[in-house]
Amino acid sequence: MIRPTLINLYRSALATGMLALAAGSFATNPQAIDLAKTPKLINETNDSSTQAAPSSFPKRPADFYLRNQQAKRALVSGHCQQALPLLERSVKEYAEDGNLWRALALCKAQLQQPDAAIDAFRKAIALGATPWDLNYGDSEHANDMMIRIAMLYAGMGQKQKALEWLERGLRARFDERNTLADKTEFNSLRSNAKFAHLLGLPDKKVTSRDEKWRRDIAFFREQVAMLHVYPSHHTDAKKLDHMLSQLSARVPQLSDEQITAKLVRFVGALGAGHDMFWPVEGKRVRLLPFAIKFYMFTDGLYIIDAYDPSLIGSRVERFNNTPTETVYQAITKAFPGDNAMEAMWQSARHFAQPYTLAELGVIDDAKHVELSIVDSSGHRRKITPERRPFTSFTPALKAAPNCPTPLYLRDLHSNYWMSYQKNLRALYVQLNEVQDADNESLAEFSSRVGKRAAKADVRDLILDLRHSPGGNGYLTRPLLRQLIHFATDPGKGSLYVLIGRNTFSASQNLITDLDWIVSPIFVGEPSGSKPNAFSESGHITLPYSGLSSMLSSQFHQQSWPEDSRIWISPDVPVGLSSTDYFAGRDPAMEAITQLIKREH
């Protein structure tokens, strides 16, 4: 997989002295960060121009391989002392494998040999290493290893080198910056001003409300430039710059809620699917949403859950005096995401956020909002919704009340599950989150899926990804292998894959792989992302407000380079109306049922 990265955004700024790294400097020179950058195709940490070709190879290559497998088993089981001599021998015989150097580095670090660990990590960075090949915990990309080097230097009291490697890792788009402040390895840097700036730690001497906001805005600008793979791909860099500059200038005239709403809109203007902002989780300000869960069906916007159960099933016609369709168009224009399906999916949370609606100009006053609805009995009325945290950040359907619960809504809280459908001779598999469950890893579940699918009573396999917004894409490989095995078995029937607006991120990557390799029958809505998309999830927490954002920090070329599809389109297109939903019907599954019965 090629994952292009952003040209080093700080190189010219550091060379010209434009970017000072003293704590708080970002507040005094917000124009220093250039957002008008383009991605490059090769990560700078994988520059092969200085690496010579191998001049020698192991004399006993089979023994070399078997020794490395033994070392890997020892390392995974936590026995570094056993792995160490095996790895040291291997890198002497063949020094051109980045995976071996990374394994050796991890071993040396665990055995409290920091200088040797740093040397090995640097060799692994120069050669590159395969993420997750050891199942050793962290994925260990180049930027992860840079942060490890910084920790090792800090532990040895070499503060300057620790700061240099910390900064280098962050520039290489290490995307878990918010986890570093609590690392005990950095205890020696707690009072260092540059360390505080790099990690976005607040200066306790700053007490002015306006100055805190300006520092947050300037820090956010800096982090977008550093972490985002391509900030100006959707909105012109000058406009992005103007949005933040104007916001900083208007801080005294705006409320905390209005500033937050403008930051939400700025993130929308970045225009990629993983660009998101959490306005309800700040320390100083929280934008309380309506205590309502919305969903856009084929026949309009409906309430599917609410503080008042009598509102469930109501169609929403207006927000104050603005028709719902006008509101929807404003939301999807401001928050385009990867495609129109993701925009539709995410619109549910923006409909519930009055300050966002006011920022978009579709209502006049965020403090006073009335919804005009037609309730489930057909009566028109107006309501003033309660406001409190009510729904998850990633909008999703739930089982409707007062009707039979269809198969696809029976268990949305489990990461994955399966059920044999005897009437169809089909195995139904639902993947809701690409994360290991507490009681069973996804790899273990995938093995169970493969064994069950191999039985004679299973003719077809149905994979449901309609509630799957992603997770850890490295974990899908075992499931992918089982699905490929089933789909290529001449004794089996068809592989059906149910997709929709929130088939996203790691789940989008999974269906892209399936589409490329086995061409399953896709059923439902178009997917919520693209085969090739700006993706990943770089996290930022603003120092003073505590508000958080997620940015698209990598380009995932999951498909072939010229694949310009805006989504994976279903072979069997099926929408969902409010009538079907509130009646407990699943039109997509009904379509699969018809196909199976006709084929057999």
> Over the stretch 57-85, which tens digit does the pLDDT of each residue have?
999 999 999 999 999 899 888 899 999 99
The H or E element that residue 301 is part of is strand 300-306
From residue 329, give the alpha-carbon distance in Å to each of 403, 446, 521, 563: 32, 41, 31, 28
Report how far residue 18's alpha carbon sits from residue 25's, in angstroms, rounded to the nearest whole number: 10
Stretch among 4-8, 177-181, 347-351, 571-575 having the lowest mean pLDDT: 4-8
How many angstroms separate the first and last alpha carbons of the chain? 38
Task: Yes or no: say if 71 and 83 are a contact pair by the CB < 8 Å rule.
Answer: yes
CA-based nearest residue to 356, from 226, 259, 494, 228: 259
* pLDDT over threshold 90, residue 363: yes
Report how far residue 264's alpha carbon sits from residue 283's, in angstroms, rounded to the nearest whole number: 16
Tokens describing residue 210: 């306006």
Q: pLDDT tier at 551 (50, 70, 90 boundaries)?
A: very high
Q: Map 509-574 to HEC letters.
A: HHHHHHHHHCCCEEEECCCCCCCEEEECCEEEECCCCCCEEEECCEEEECCCCCCCCCCCCCCEEC
Q: Where are the alpha helices (DSSP H) in 352-476?
A: 354-359, 442-453
The pLDDT, as a whole number, for residue 39 is 58
Tokens describing residue 482: 């089982």
CA-based nearest residue to 501, from 402, 373, 393, 396: 396
Report how far residue 272's alpha carbon sits from residue 535's, in angstroms, rounded to the nearest whole number: 8
Report how far residue 164's alpha carbon sits from residue 192's, in angstroms, rounded to the nearest whole number: 13
- Give the pLDDT mean for 139-167: 93
DSSP string, 234-273: SS-HHHHHHHHHHHHHTGGGS-HHHHHHHHHHHHHHH--T
* pLDDT over threshold 90, residue 480: yes
* pLDDT tens digits, one per residue of 484-527: 999 999 999 999 999 999 999 999 999 999 999 999 999 999 99
* pLDDT over threshold 70, residue 24: no
Query: Which domains, from first to last, does the chain contain?
Result: 5-199 (1.25.40.10), 209-278 (no CATH), 292-383 (2.30.42), 407-529+567-599 (3.90.226.10)
Report how far residue 489's alpha carbon sits from residue 492's, in angstroms, rounded to the nearest whole number: 6
The pLDDT, as a whole number, for residue 283 is 78
Write the single-letter amino acid at 431: L
Report how far residue 174's alpha carbon sits from residue 316's, in angstroms, rounded to the nearest whole number: 42
- Token look-up 């970002």 returns 26
The residues, any chain, with a CB within 8 Å of residue 466's CB and separated by 6 or more, are 408, 498, 499, 500, 502, 503, 524, 588
Question: Is the full-model pTM beyond 0.85?
Answer: yes
Q: Map 103-171 to HEC letters.
A: HHHHHHHHCCCHHHHHHHHHHHHHHCCCCCCCCCCCCCCHHHHHHHHHHHHHHCCCHHHHHHHHHHHHH
The pLDDT, as a whole number, for residue 31 is 45
Residue 227, Cβ neighbours under 10 Å: how many? 25
Q: Please, what is the average pLDDT of the chain?
A: 90
Higher-scoring residue by pLDDT: 210, 136: 210
Tokens describing residue 462: 């149905």
Write the single-letter amino acid at 161: K
Backbone phi and psi for residue 149, each to the nearest 5 degrees, phi listed first: -60, -45
* pLDDT tens digits, one per residue of 184-225: 999 999 999 999 999 999 998 999 999 999 999 999 999 999
Q: Where are the alpha helices (DSSP H) in 352-457?
A: 354-359, 442-453
Beta strand 380-383 with 371-374: parallel, antiparallel or unpaired? antiparallel
Write the single-letter amino acid at 438: D
Q: Within a 13 Å sphere around the CA of 152, how many CA atoms are in the beta-carbon half? A: 24
From residue 283, give the alpha-carbon distance in Å to each of 264, 279, 543: 16, 10, 10
Q: Is 373 helix (H, G, I), strand (E, B) or coil?
A: strand
The radius of gyration computed from the CA coordinates of the chain, to the nearest angstrom, equals 26
Task: Yes or no: say if 20 and 193 are a contact pair by the CB < 8 Å rule.
Answer: no
For residues 83-92, b (16+ Cβ closer than 10 Å) or e, as one string? bbebbbebbe
